[in-house]
Amino acid sequence: MSETSSAATAAPEVELDWSIESEGGSVVLPPSAYVRPRRNHVRRNLEIIILAGPAILLFLMFVIAPVIVALYYSFYKWKGFGPTNADNFVGLDNYKWTLTNPEFWGAVGHNGIIMVLSLVMQGPLAILVALLLNQKMRGRSLIRVLIFVPYVISEAIVGIGMFLMLQDEGALNKLLGLHVGWLSNPKVAMWTLMFILTWKYLGFAIILMLAGLQGIPEELSEAAAVDGATFWQIQWHIMLPLLKPTIKVWGFLSIIGAMQLFDLVYVIWGQYIATTAGVSTMAWFMAANGRLSGQLGRGSAIAIIVFILSLVVAMIYQRWVLNRDTEGALTEKEED
């Protein structure tokens, strides 16, 4: 564990002792040598329970418990109602069905493609726009708002709108006089999805990058300018390296988003044709083959597999990318 994090956990303790000394150490209630540590202890525990209790309870109820329940159902051929018993216990069959299903691996592959393309397409574009928007210029706030608007619109609304516009007989083809199967042609559909995703989430990336840029002290670029660095040199050698932690956090969020992608695909392509169109994702596969097929046991197994896959990806990123130098952005690197 890094020094910062251990210091952070130690901090409240120190503060707590101080406050108790200063208040409790008065004349009103002369605390005995034995009582004081115990009271402190009790009070600290009470504070932890009161402050963290509700969150932990909610986390247990709505995250941990469903995972355990899903694990339980994943061993049954369960249709969503009726008992689970020896008759419908199927052991690892649901897992076998999923892991030997080429459509599932197709969906995993699509998630991978979306993950990589999101990083490649949105990252550089977002950084570029953020660097420009970080300059003082006219209409800056308006541009910022406009760029952020798609991110605010609900996915379902974006999905329905895009679905209507991009149909074969839809507005886009009519407008361009083309006849492209934007949604139905498997060679095109993934790019359509990527375009929509980029349009929708670019604003979020830009806002994040802008926030990161604004945390960088102006003195640095001013000093560089005084030393004769050009605009692009300043961006490349000063701003970008200092923006690295933000980029990494955005990358993490983007990867998680790509792994979980469901709503846009489901709204635009529906329950059946995402596989045929080549845009199925793991979460879509789970919904289509779980609840919508009336096989909640199988759906649970898919959910567990997706959970593990996502966890592994998240942990790898956390361990190898995010953790390495989140500190050292504005201060000098100490170890690395």
Binding interface with another protein (CB under 8 A): 78-84, 163-164, 167-170, 179, 181, 183-184, 186, 269-273, 275-277, 288, 291-296
Q: How far is the CB of 183 from another protein (least distance, A)?
A: 4
CA distances from 164 to 71, 78, 182 (A): 39, 36, 11
Q: How far is the CB of 259 from another protein (least distance, A)?
A: 24
150 contact partners, CB below 8 Å, separation of at least 6 = 158, 199, 200, 201, 202, 203
CA distances from 258 to 109, 112, 261, 296, 333 (A): 11, 8, 5, 24, 31
Q: How far is the CB of 82 from another protein (least distance, A)?
A: 3
Q: How far is the CB of 197 from another protein (least distance, A)?
A: 18
89 contact partners, CB below 8 Å, separation of at least 6 = 75, 76
Comparing CA positions, the residue from 196, 308, 330 lying closest to residue 259 is: 308
Max distance between CA atoms of the chain, in angstroms, equals 88
- Are 208 and 226 a contacting pair, CB within 8 Å? no
Q: Measure the CA–CA gap between 309 and 314, rounded to whole angstroms.
A: 9
Residue 89: strand pairing partners = 76
In this structure, the number of other CB atoms found within 10 A of the CB of residue 148 comes to 15
- Are 100 and 247 a contacting pair, CB within 8 Å? no
Closer CB to another protein, 78 or 104, in the complex: 78
Closer CB to another protein, 32 or 85, in the complex: 85
Closer CB to another protein, 40 or 167, in the complex: 167
Q: Measure the CA–CA gap between 58 and 64, rounded to whole angstroms.
A: 9
